[in-house]
Amino acid sequence: MASVEPADGGEQRGRKKNKWQQRKRVGFHIDMTPYVDVIMLLLTFFIMTSTLNQPQVMQINLPKGDEKIDVVKVDMGNVVFVRISEKGNIGLSKGKSDGTEEQPVKVNLEQMRAYLESWGTQNKDMIMILKFHRKAKYDMMISVLDEINRAAIEKRYSFSKMEEPDFKVLEVIGG
């Protein structure tokens, strides 16, 4: 048997070793190979059996536009024009039954809701036609739609392309 002698070369009899020096550590080894196999099988099982979220798409039915069949006749007395200029100015005007419209009124967002609510209580069949300048800020469009949704009226509106007569109306309000 081999023994270990102290560094000074002498024997030390009668002296006890500490408990921690007397114990031998027993090493153990765990084979991880089966665990890796089990983890891969579980991972494969959960991937194969789970369902992935399908993207939710809102379907919008747009009219063809070229056909005259899609044209809806509306009494101009029920129409309110909401025009937003490039600078963010808002012009409101009511249509007349003879096909013309009243003089536009320049308003801000808070006044717009008050005007729409008062006109909406006078005319239950009110339809708003929203016309935005191509260079108007997207944030302005969202703010206008939010104010329309906050108004205590029936929300019937349509988006329309801004044409040359609309630009003239915007010039009247300082657009």
List pLDDT tens digits, range 96-140.
888 888 888 899 888 898 988 998 888 888 888 899 988 888 888
Residue 137 lies in a domain: yes
Longest dimension (CA), the chain: 126
Residue 132 token pair: 């935005």
Which domain range does residue 112 map to?
A: 74-172
Residue 79: CATH number of its domain: 3.30.420.60
Contact call for residues 172 and 112 (beta carbons, < 8 A)? no
Q: What are phi and psi of 66, to 5 degrees?
A: -80, -30
Buried b (16+ CB within 10 A) or exposed e, 101-139: beebeebeeeebbebbeebbeeeeebbbbbbbbeebeee
Question: What is the per-residue pLDDT across 13-57, written as a single tens digit (0 to 9) for each?
Answer: 555 666 666 666 677 777 888 888 899 999 999 888 887 777 777
Inside any domain, residue 28: no
User: Do the domain assignments include residue 58?
Assistant: no
